[in-house]
């Protein structure tokens, strides 16, 4: 595979792709030739040139996974901030939990995570980088431009790194998506023994985002990956329900507060109840 080995590629030509709702293999590789992105850059043109120069290019059913940082940079989401904490506060809709300097919050996109997605790495001194204004819209614009340029039906995922409750470390998830089903709703079908599936809804957009991060890395200068073999998830339409539909918020959120915060809130509520003189 020559120099391609350094990009963690599983060569698409050696794989059995999606067929009859069953996957036997999937291919992942990154694109070379994407340099530093600045505010106002035409991201679809930059990525398009890298695809055109790639040995495998794009085929019908491919999924492009794009790190949100370069989307934010192209959209000029830099904020002058000597204090990153001020930027986090500005992006916060609701505080979920705090542990020392760490804040777990819900941001304006409905995503619950540390620091509201505010990133201080690989940005000019004295600035921080916010998440894209509307990652689904960013994914739709990229998807439309690249479909038109290459004449193939592809999906686009905009990914970001997030921690998970009850699990150490972080993984990439989809915060924007277009031209792809973000969930694979298996409810109503049956398992191998013929039993009905009633709760099985794999979040395939997150699974593809996490898989792509295995080859993209954080400091390789390769922020875009192509996933080949997930074509059954790619749709004819670009304007599909995007990643904004994935966060649990409101009544469906069973863990709106951290344990310590929930305890403190319950204690305060109990103390506010007037004493009943009949209880002595």
Residue 163 CA to residue 113 CA, distance in Å, equals 7
Residue 108 CA to residue 59 CA, distance in Å, equals 35
Whether 63 shows a pLDDT value over 70: the answer reads yes
pLDDT range class, residue 13, cuts 50, 70, 90: very low
pLDDT range class, residue 125, cuts 50, 70, 90: confident
- If one compares 183 and 192, the residue with the highest pLDDT of the two is 183
Q: What is the pLDDT of residues 157-167, one digit of tens each?
A: 999 999 988 89
- What's the pLDDT score for residue 241? 92
Q: Phi-psi bin for 78: left (phi > 0), alpha (psi -120 to 50), beta? A: beta
Residue 78 CA to residue 84 CA, distance in Å, equals 12
On average, the pLDDT of the chain sits at: 86
- What's the pLDDT score for residue 185? 64
CB-based contact 109:173 (threshold 8 Å): no
Q: Tell me the CATH class for 18-72+132-268.
A: alpha beta
Cα distances (Å, whole numbers) of residue 174 to 3, 5, 158, 159, 203: 29, 26, 6, 4, 9
Cα distances (Å, whole numbers) of residue 105 to 37, 89, 136, 148: 28, 9, 21, 38
- What's the pLDDT score for residue 14? 33
- What's the pLDDT score for residue 197? 65
Q: What is the pLDDT of residues 80-110, one digit of tens each?
A: 877 788 899 999 999 999 988 889 999 999 9
- If one compares 212 and 2, the residue with the highest pLDDT of the two is 212
- Facing residues of 148 across strands? none
Mean pLDDT across 173-177: 97
């Amino acid at each position: 595979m020559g120099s391609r080995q350094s990009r963690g590629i599983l060569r698409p030509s050696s794989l059995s792709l999606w067929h009859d709702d069953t996957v036997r293999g999937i291919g992942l590789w990154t694109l070379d030739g994407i340099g530093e992105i600045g505010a106002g850059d035409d991201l679809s043109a930059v990525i398009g040139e890298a695809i055109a120069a790639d040995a495998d290019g794009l085929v019908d059913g491919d999924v492009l996974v794009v790190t949100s940082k370069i989307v934010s940079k192209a959209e000029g989401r830099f904020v002058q901030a000597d204090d990153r904490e001020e930027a986090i506060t500005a992006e916060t809709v609701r505080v979920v939990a705090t542990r020392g300097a760490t804040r777990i919050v819900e941001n304006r996109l409905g995503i619950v995570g540390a620091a509201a997605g505010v990133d201080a790495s690989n940005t000019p001194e004295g600035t921080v980088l916010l998440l894209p204004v509307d990652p689904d819209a960013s994914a739709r614009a990229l998807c439309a431009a690249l479909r038109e340029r290459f004449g193939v039906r592809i999906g686009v995922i905009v990914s970001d790194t997030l921690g998970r409750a009850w699990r150490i470390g972080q993984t990439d998830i989809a915060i924007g998506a277009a031209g792809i089903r973000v969930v694979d709703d298996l409810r109503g079908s049956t398992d191998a023994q013929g039993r009905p599936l009633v709760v099985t809804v794999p979040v395939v957009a997150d699974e593809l985002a996490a898989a792509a991060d295995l080859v993209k890395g954080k400091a390789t200068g390769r922020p875009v990956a192509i996933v080949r073999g997930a074509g059954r998830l790619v749709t004819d339409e670009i304007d599909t329900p995007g990643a904004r539909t994935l966060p649990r918020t409101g009544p469906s959120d069973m863990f709106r507060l951290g344990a310590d915060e929930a305890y403190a809130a319950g204690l305060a509520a109990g103390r506010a109840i007037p004493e009943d003189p009949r209880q002595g």
